[in-house]
Amino acid sequence: MVDTRPFLPVSSSDGSIPSERPANRRKPMKVQLSIFFGLLAVGLLAALLASNKGSDIVTENEHGSLDSSTTIKPEPLRPLSRGPAAGVSEKANLLFPKDNENTVAFPWNNSMLSWQRTSFHFQPEMNWMNDPNGKSHLFSFGPLFYKGWYHFFYQYNPLAAVYGKIVWGHAVSKDLIHWLHLPLAMVADQTYDTNGVWTGSATLLPDGKIVMLYTGSDTESVQVQNLAYPANHSDPLLINWVKYDANPVLVPPPGILSKDFRDPTTAWLTSEGKWRITIGSKINKTGIALVYDTKDFINYEKLDGYLRAVDGTGMWECVDFFPVSKTEEKGLDTSVNSLDVKHVMKVSLDDDRHDYYTIGTYHEKNVTFIPDDTELDVGIGLRYDYGVYYAAKTFYDQNKNRRVLWGWIGESDSEAADVQKGWASVQSIPRMILLDKKTDTHLLQWPVEEIDSLRLNSYEFNHVTVQAGSVVPLDIGAATQLDIMAEFEIDKEALEKATGSNVTFSCSSSGGAVHRGALGPFGLLVLADDRLSEQTPVYFYIAKGSDGNLKTFFCNDQSRSSEASDVNKEIYGSMVPVLKGENLSLRVLVDHSIIESFAQGGRTVITSRVYPTKAIYGAAKLFLFNNATEAGVGASLRIWQMNSAFIRPYPNLDDKSQ
């Protein structure tokens, strides 16, 4: 039964320490004596403990925050794992200290934490959220367009800002930007999903009706597939959902472990008129996609073999499979299959929490998918996003003839900080996805056009020269909510004169933006304070090999993004193809603690979560930089301040649902 209670209200307390103490009245003498002897006993006990453990002291400063003396030994943050014990993957946003290093909690205050909440990315009013789509047992079935509304379903914990007690949240939108929260769509109230209503996918049938397959975790934590459908197909808001009374419709087949069978895809039609789905699994360390045919979504035939299998990739979850056009700039319905079509297979790897895709050919009769390049096979080749981005799911938007990609952007701070701020995780800006016809190896991802409606004041900077080793401030005011379009042209003479090298460059292991080469790095310093004590460089780096060939890398350096110690500070990135005649181009969406960066029209994408302590509110600035040793760079930019999206509960819902 659907839980129609509204989202939990936000606490009225801000958690701050009062600046004034209430006046104390004089207490009776007996009470004073009792307090005196009680304090004396406590003092003696404290002295005894101090003699054994040292004299750590904590004091309160004038701002109400806690300062430690130099003798303090802060308690390190130690992650607690809930996933494996519950028979689910570990997907909470926990920090795992590397090499036994201790991670010390930063004294976040309410002002810092409030700033982190995004303004135009979708997220619930509070608590924990997972991905949007129809994959992965941590996530929910994702978006679809129905009777004038975009529907978004997501995994949600209504009780806390940590993973657990997962149900399905539900929101609707007219434009994929402004969202209205609806009551919970489904809760864990049956034996076959009592341990979690996990990921599923919706299929829109030719008669306009909707069927949904989703993974449930039953009383024994076995992953089973279940059927659900709207209680009233005439309701454009799809508020109430019915679970099929003979669930589950699929259980793990022989040879598949009970906890390795999840995330059914959207179904597509075969030439025989049957519906076909694939489900993620593994055998030992080989990731596999099982295939089933059905005529009624109740009875299924398991087909021999696998849609695809790749050794060493581990458990596949959130499998997605869809066609892309080789000739047109538009999306295709999931069932389209012709000579003018390539297919994309995408998997989320449970072992490393990244989303991989490959492009190839689907053979319906043989029930197989063959990548164009096996070196770029699914799970070992290209990724949707080289940052914080997981369990992505596409849907065909028949309203605008496009395929739209959603992904879950988790937190990369500590779980303790999430509990303190009262929420965790957001959704990416929806991205239109197309085949890159110039490379034929990559997809192009680009923010949906509706995001442009949030643009406010714009600033243009044309042909700015950024000399090697320099930083140029950009006078645009506060830089917390931005849409940045930039083009860079590196000095051609420097390109020719630069000496080649056999040294291998990697964004993640080559020292970040402070590592200087002849031809880079250069780009933007995002969410930086005036003194650059905090900054997040988004940049290109050109490496020239000993053979004279150039390779361009697109990177995002979080190593100096925050002075806090309990946040992730990885350096993300990958090589990006740059074709002859192309300038280097990027687009960056900045929304408080999220930076989504798109290079070369979306061939390579990086999403970062950053948690500055100084570069917030009006102190957040934007700079151009060029840390190359030899090459100057010309830059042209157009920058928009961005408005906030309206994301709130649906008004007068009782009237709408009757």
Q: Which residues are catalytic?
A: 131
Mapping DSSP to helix (H, G, I), strand (E, B) and coil, where does residue 393 land?
Answer: strand
Distances (CA, A) of 504 to 500, 513, 517, 575, 645: 11, 16, 12, 12, 43
- Report the alpha-carbon distance of residue 549 to residue 534 in Å, rounded: 34
Q: Please provide residue 494's backbone torsions phi and psi, each rounded to the nearest 5 degrees.
A: -65, -35
Structure-block tokens of residue 8: 């939990």
Rounded CA separation 582/579 (Å): 6
What 3 state SS string does 173-199 have? ECCCCCEEEEEEEECCCCCCCCCCEEE
Sign of CA dihedral 626, 628, 634, 636: negative
Separation between Cα atoms, residue 135 and residue 35, nearest integer Å: 60
Place of tokens 């379009």: 485
Distance of CA 643 to the CA centre of its chain: 21
Amino acid residing at 312: G
564: helix, coil or strand?
Answer: coil
Q: Return the structure tokens found at 383.
A: 């990724």
CB 199 within 8 A of CB 318: yes
How many whole angstroms separate alpha carbon 397 and alpha carbon 152?
A: 13
3-state secondary structure 413-459: CCHHHHHHHCEECEECCCEEEEECCCCCCCEEEEECHHHHHHEEEEE
Do 603 and 444 contact (CB within 8 A), yes or no? yes
Q: Choose among 476, 457, 450: nearest CA to 645.
A: 450
Going from the C-alpha of 175 to that of each of 220, 264, 397, 408, 428, the distances in angstroms are: 41, 27, 11, 19, 15
Q: Residue 158, preceding bond cis, omega within 30 degrees?
A: no
User: How far is residue 402 from each of residues 399, 434, 632, measured CA to CA in Å?
Assistant: 8, 9, 40
CA terminus-to-terminus distance, the chain: 17
Number of Cβ within 10 Å of residue 447's Cβ equals: 20
What element of type H or E holds 496? helix 492-497
Cβ–Cβ under 8 Å, residues 138 and 166: yes
